[in-house]
Amino acid sequence: MPFSFPPTIKTQRLLLRPWRVEDAPRMKAAIDANLDHLRAWMPWALNEPSPLEDIATRIAMFAEEFEAGSNGVYAIFSRDGTEVIGGTGLHPRIESGLEIGYWIARAHTRNGYATEAARALTESALTMPDVAAVQIRCDPRNIASAGVPAKLGYRHIKTFNDPDILVDGSPRATMVWQISAHDQHPHLRPAPPRRARRR
């Protein structure tokens, strides 16, 4: 079943949109500058760095999948689109739902960007037809990453050793967090800014 992924998503500080072929140099620069940071948690980063031509081919494939509704890969930019913050996506890896993945460049960690992006994608996913649940999966040792679904009201449903994900030569433990379309979602929409008290 194809999904209708939003072509762009804007949050208070971020712009989420599909990567474009002309973004290849920026994607490569962001990945190459964060290899040690990414390899600790992202199995795909073990195959990096890649030639620029391969990055461009990868982005072209992402664009085809996005258009077909089979995989929603997004870049995370600063809201004005000038700086690469990281990458994210809505991936149809689970039955009757979508999985959110994300990575943030080291220079931009600890700013709440992963939570902000995941909040926006969760809200979008839960409005899509036939999406019964959304999951976020991460290594339990990645405390920062695990904090994202916890803040958004996801439930930790299980942790298992995943034989398909090898980071240090052995199966990696994977935490599975889930939120259902039928759940109450008080944590998704950010609270309105507080007004200064009048004296």
Say how far apart CA 38 and CA 174 lie, in whole Å: 16
Beta strands in 44-153 (DSSP E): 72-78, 84-91, 97-104, 133-138
Q: Give the domains, in start order, of the chain with CATH numbers.
A: 9-180 (3.40.630.30)
What pLDDT score was predicted for residue 186? Answer: 72
Phi and psi torsions of 35, nearest 5°: -60, -50
What pLDDT score was predicted for residue 171? Answer: 75
8 Å CB contact between 98 and 78: no
Residue with tokens 């004296």: 199
In 3D, which of 159, 155, 145 has the Cα closest to residue 109?
145
pLDDT in tens, 107-123: 999 999 999 999 999 99
Q: Check pLDDT > 60 for residue 197.
A: no
8 Å CB contact between 5 and 72: yes
In 3D, which of 36, 73, 31, 72 has the Cα closest to residue 51?
31
pLDDT in tens, 52-91: 999 999 999 999 999 999 999 999 999 999 999 999 999 9
Q: Note if the bond before 43 is cis, omega within 30 degrees.
A: no
Say how far apart CA 159 and CA 142 lie, in whole Å: 13
Say how far apart CA 165 and CA 21 lie, in whole Å: 28
pLDDT in tens, 155-166: 999 999 877 666
What does the mean pLDDT of the chain come to? Answer: 91
pTM listed for this prediction = 0.89
